[in-house]
């Protein structure tokens, strides 16, 4: 064993077994930074005999308690017992109080017990995530422990935004169920609560639709992929895969057990090649079409003039809606060329019949019609900021990706907004200027400090800022074929996003974040996550506003 590992082990044993009252206070390095944290003298000793004691519960509490109990089970030899009753010593006493906001929590650790009071089971879960970051990293890989000393603290905390998201594109490259679950675990560690799942695109259709089996037979497979940035050379290796509806249910439940809502994205009216290859009548020309092997934006899109197009989407959504409890369905709406519509008799007839001015308003008609159908099923839509073109309803939520200007415009006109500007939170961009030493990426430059510097409500007054419901980072997978690469591109930038989404802007401090992040990186190591290690490169250079997704 290396000397530094022996030193780390001896320090760790001291923390575990020295007398709480004689050892110096331990550092508490929680990310995202809590709203209020006070370190007290002494510590609480957690042992296999410690119980989780529910003083006052709620219907949604069970998953939080089970999660924390099982987190400790490998190290302590068994899950912590879960009981009910009045507050007691040598216990984690949990109280759900309707007087607190649902996601807020208060966490107190003293020598006698741990006390958690939260507004819901979700708030309790976030208290557990803070407590988790105060435990030795060895609990992440199940190292046997007899006792864990936890620093005495008092924390009062709540998130800045209710929507704190990460997107994963599984169309350009497919990631199996276990990888998706690990991605969800990564979100949970960072107190993120929305997983935006990009399921359909030109290069692959990734969700089972039983009414349309060719989407799986044809649309889920491309025979090969272009090498690099559309070099004209191909690798000859098929990329295939889709999630069955049973697998979708399994993943949705896995996320729900971590208080994460999954928002599915079904692209329309553009990014349609995989669906058109499966059912050519959905396009303006009738094909032939193929599942795209190249990256980019393509002229062949769903025909806006044919009723069969809208029948297709209604029947697709009829199968998708029961799978996802989310109030939102993401309908894309970005990067839709109008070339085919301009030359399509059906589309031009639709423009005349509906008294539309042009093809931009035809896209608005398409989006409105899908939105009305989803509204009738109890769902709301989110779309990329292009859906602003031609006008949108007040019930649509805008995801602003081409910088923040689309989001600012939407907020000023009264729409809800999720800020996801490419020049701050596109994690498929390079995170180092020394690109020769980095894996191939789409371009741009978004280091950790750039992510951290985002203020999602900048440029808005108080009333307009209230329309910004949250923030999200996106990971497009054109150049990301393995899940270890997914982790490398997201970590530790996900931690910076988490602090943007959770911590009040007035409390953010990048120097303090850098001081705290090494503790979280040790947890990444214990979890066997692959992550980028060049955080100290802090020079900020924003990426181009119009980089293609």
Element spanning 268, H or E? strand 261-268
With both helix axes pointing from N to C terminus, report the angle between 359-376 and 345-353 in degrees, rounded to the nearest 10: 80
**What one-character-per-residue DSSP string does 428-473 give?**
TSBSSS-GGGS---SS-B--HHHHHT--TTTT--HHHHTTEEEEEE
Residues 148-175 as b/e (b if ≥16 CB within 10 A, e otherwise) read bbbbbbebbbbbbbebbbbbbbbbbbbb
Q: What is the DSSP letter of 507?
A: G
Say which of 157, 201, 208, 265 is annotated catalytic: 201
Q: What are phi and psi of 196, to 5 degrees?
A: -85, 115
Q: Are strands 114-118 and 148-157 parallel, antiparallel or unpaired?
A: unpaired
Assign 278 to helix, strand or coil.
helix
Instruction: Check 271, 330, 368, 485 and give the catalytic one.
Output: 271
Q: Which of 257, 314, 319, 335 is catalytic?
A: 335
> Is 201 known to be catalytic?
yes
User: Residue 105: helix, strand or coil by DSSP?
Assistant: strand
190 is catalytic: no
- Residue 255: is it exposed, middle or buried by C-beta count within 10 angstroms (0-12/13-18/19+)? buried
Whether 330 sits among the annotated catalytic residues: the reply is no
Query: Cα–chain-centroid distance for residue 532?
Result: 18
Q: Using DSSP, state whether 55 is helix, strand or coil.
A: strand
Q: 474: helix, coil or strand?
A: strand
Instruction: Identify whether the C-beta of residue 486 lies closer than 8 Å to the C-beta of residue 179.
Output: yes
End-to-end CA distance of the chain: 46
Q: Which of the residues are catalytic?
A: 201, 271, 335
């Amino acid at each position: 064993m290396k000397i530094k590992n022996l030193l780390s082990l001896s320090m760790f044993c001291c923390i575990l077994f020295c007398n709480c009252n004689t050892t110096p206070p331990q550092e508490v390095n929680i990310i995202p930074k809590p709203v209020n944290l006070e370190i007290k003298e002494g510590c609480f000793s957690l042992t296999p005999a410690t119980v989780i004691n529910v003083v006052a519960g709620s219907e949604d509490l069970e998953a939080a308690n089970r999660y924390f109990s099982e987190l400790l089970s490998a190290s302590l030899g068994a899950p912590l017992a879960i009981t009910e009753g009045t507050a007691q010593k040598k216990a984690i006493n949990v109280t759900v109080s309707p007087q607190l906001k649902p996601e807020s929590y208060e966490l107190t650790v003293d020598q006698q017990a741990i006390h958690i009071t939260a507004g819901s089971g979700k708030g309790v879960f976030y208290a557990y995530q803070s407590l988790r970051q105060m435990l030795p990293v060895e609990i992440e890989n199940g190292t046997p422990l007899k006792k864990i000393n936890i620093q005495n603290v008092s924390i009062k905390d709540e998130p800045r935004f209710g929507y704190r998201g990460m997107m994963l594109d599984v169309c350009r490259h497919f990631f199996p169920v276990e990888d998706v679950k690990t991605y969800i675990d990564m979100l949970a560690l960072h107190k993120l609560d929305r997983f935006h799942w990009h399921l359909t695109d030109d290069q692959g259709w990734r969700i089972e639709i039983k009414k349309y089996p060719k989407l799986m037979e044809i649309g889920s497979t491309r025979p090969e992929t272009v090498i690099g940035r559309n070099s004209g050379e191909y690798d000859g290796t098929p990329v295939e895969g889709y999630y069955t509806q049973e697998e979708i249910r399994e993943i949705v439940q896995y996320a729900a057990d971590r208080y994460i809502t999954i928002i599915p994205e079904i692209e329309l009216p553009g990014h349609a090649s995989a669906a058109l290859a499966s059912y050519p009548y959905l396009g303006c020309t009738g094909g032939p079409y193929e599942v795209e092997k190249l990256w980019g934006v393509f002229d062949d899109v769903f025909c806006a003039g044919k009723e069969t197009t809208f029948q297709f989407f209604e029947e697709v959504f009829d199968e998708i809606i029961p799978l996802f409890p989310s109030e939102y369905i993401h309908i894309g709406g970005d990067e839709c060329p109008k070339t085919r519509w301009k030359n399509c008799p059906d589309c031009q007839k639709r423009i005349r019949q509906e008294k539309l001015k042009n093809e931009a308003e035809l896209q608005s008609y398409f989006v409105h019609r899908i939105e009305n159908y989803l509204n009738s099923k109890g769902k709301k839509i989110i779309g990329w900021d292009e859906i602003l073109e031609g006008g949108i309803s007040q019930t649509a939520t805008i995801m602003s990706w081409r910088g923040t200007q689309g989001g600012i415009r939407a907020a000023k006109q009264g729409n809800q907004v999720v800020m996801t500007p490419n020049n701050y939170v596109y994690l498929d961009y390079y995170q180092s200027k020394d690109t020769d030493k980095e894996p191939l990426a789409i371009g741009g430059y978004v280091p950790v400090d750039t992510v951290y510097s985002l203020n999602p409500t900048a440029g808005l007054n108080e009333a307009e800022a209230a329309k910004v419901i949250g923030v999200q980072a996106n990971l497009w997978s054109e150049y990301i074929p393995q899940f270890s690469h997914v982790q490398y591109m997201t970590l530790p930038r996900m931690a910076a996003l988490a602090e943007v989404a959770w911590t009040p802007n007035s409390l953010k401090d990048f120097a303090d974040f850098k001081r705290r992040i090494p503790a979280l990186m040790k947890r990444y190591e214990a979890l066997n996550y692959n992550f980028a290690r060049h955080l100290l490169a802090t020079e900020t250079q924003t990426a181009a506003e119009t980089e293609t997704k």
